[in-house]
């Protein structure tokens, strides 16, 4: 692990050459300071508690910016709404098919064998393992 938890949203954003506006810091506060899985709507709702005037369009813009700067990852989990994951380290996911809750699975907890043969000469851009389960009660 090379993660140095950035406890200061402003420093976190400056470190990625992102102008730390109030809106961006509100989103960072909600999503980047701890591991979290949230949809855009959930981010908007949570960030508006810190900044009620925050607009939906801005949240989408900020999320897209954060993804581009490597602060967030979009999860390919569910067809309806994009889920943003603030854990950008390689890892996998447990997904509750009934509730939609997601929890991280450390990269080391699963091992995928056979990848080199499977991708052959293609350029590999990443591997996602999604384990669908039932009964994941706690919030993810």
Partner DNA sequence: TTCCATGCAAAGGGTTTGCACTCTC
Partner DNA sequence: GAGAGTGCAAACCCTTTGCATGGAA
Angle at 92 (CA atoms; ends 89, 94), nearest 5 degrees: 135
Among residues 17 and 123, whose Cβ is nearest to its own copies?
123
**Which of 25, 77, 86, 140 is in the footprint of its own copies by CB under 8 A?**
77
The binder of 103, among DNA, its own copies, none, by C-beta within 5 to 8 A per type, is none
Residues 67 to 106 in contact with DNA, rule: CB under 7 A: 79-82
The binder of 138, among its own copies, DNA, none, by C-beta within 5 to 8 A per type, is none
Strand, helix or coil at 59? helix
- The CA distance from 98 to 132, in Å, is 10
Among residues 14 and 56, whose Cβ is nearest to its own copies?
56
Residues 23 to 52 in contact with DNA, rule: CB under 7 A: 23-24, 39-41, 51
- The CA distance from 103 to 53, in Å, is 30
Helix pair 22-31, 56-68: axis angle to 10 deg? 70
Contact 79, 24 (CB under 8 A): no
- The CA distance from 11 to 135, in Å, is 38
Q: Under rule CB under 7 A, how many of the chain's residues touch DNA? A: 24
Residue ranges that bind DNA, judged by CB under 7 A: 18-19, 21-24, 39-41, 51, 53-58, 60-62, 64, 79-82
Residue ranges that bind its own copies, judged by CB under 8 A: 74, 76-79, 82, 92, 94, 97, 105, 109-115, 117-119, 121-136
């Amino acid at each position: 692990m090379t993660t140095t938890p950035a406890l200061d949203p402003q420093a976190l954003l400056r470190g990625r050459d992102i102008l730390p506006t109030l809106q961006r810091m509100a989103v960072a506060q909600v999503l980047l300071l701890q591991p979290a899985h949230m949809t855009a709507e959930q981010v908007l709702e949570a960030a508006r508690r810190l900044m009620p005037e925050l607009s939906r369009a801005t949240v989408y813009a900020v999320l897209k910016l954060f993804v581009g700067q490597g602060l967030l990852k979009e999860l390919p989990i569910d067809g309806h709404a994009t889920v943003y994951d603030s854990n950008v380290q390689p890892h996998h996911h447990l997904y509750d098919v009934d509730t939609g809750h997601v929890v991280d699975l450390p990269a080391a907890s699963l091992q995928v064998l056979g990848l080199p043969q499977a991708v052959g000469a293609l350029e590999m851009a990443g591997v996602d393992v999604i384990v669908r389960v039932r009964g994941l009660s706690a919030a993810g």
